[in-house]
Amino acid sequence: MSGIEIERKFLVRGEGYRQQAESNSRIKQGYIGCNTCSVRVRIRDNRGFLTIKGPSKNGGLSRYEFEKEISLVEAQHLMELCDPGIIDKTRYLVRCGNHVFEVDEFYGDNAGLVIAEVELSHEDEKFDKPVFIGDEVTGDRRFHNSYLRAMPFIVWRGTIPKAYRHIALE
């Protein structure tokens, strides 16, 4: 797949997304250093993927994306080339109206963070929001996985409202 990716991101309230999910999968992903784009290696369940994303446009709403499925062995080898800080999460797919929300529940140093995103056909496309959708964070780069790799949620979690923190601060 390649083309322009248009998506909006939101913080998630509560845990209702789990009951509404049609499916879920475990994802581990790493990033290979690149100054002008994001190069991601992903293992989703037992499948490998290589993704290259260009710089964000329109306040983080859209950007070029190229994705190709690769073998699991290739993905495992490429993970060894990744910068430190592997992203570990479970992705839940939740249908709402004509759209599917991808809800990511993070682990490790990003534990307590849950983000939902929805892909759109065009930037001003209307969509229904599930009840668990909270504040929009589309343009906030702190919620990009590539940022979370280098600056995990545990470091800055106190800057978001408690309603969106799924694990109590210790």
List, by residue number, the catalytic residues: 31
CA-nearest of 51, 61, 56 to 10 is: 61
What is the b/e burial string over 130-155, where b = at least 16 CB atoms within 10 angstroms of the residue's CB?
bebbbeebbeeeebbbbebbeebbee
Q: Cα–Cα distance between 95 and 17 in angstroms, integer?
A: 10
**In contact, 111 and 60? CB cutoff 8 Å:** no
Q: Cα–Cα distance between 13 and 73 in angstroms, integer?
A: 37
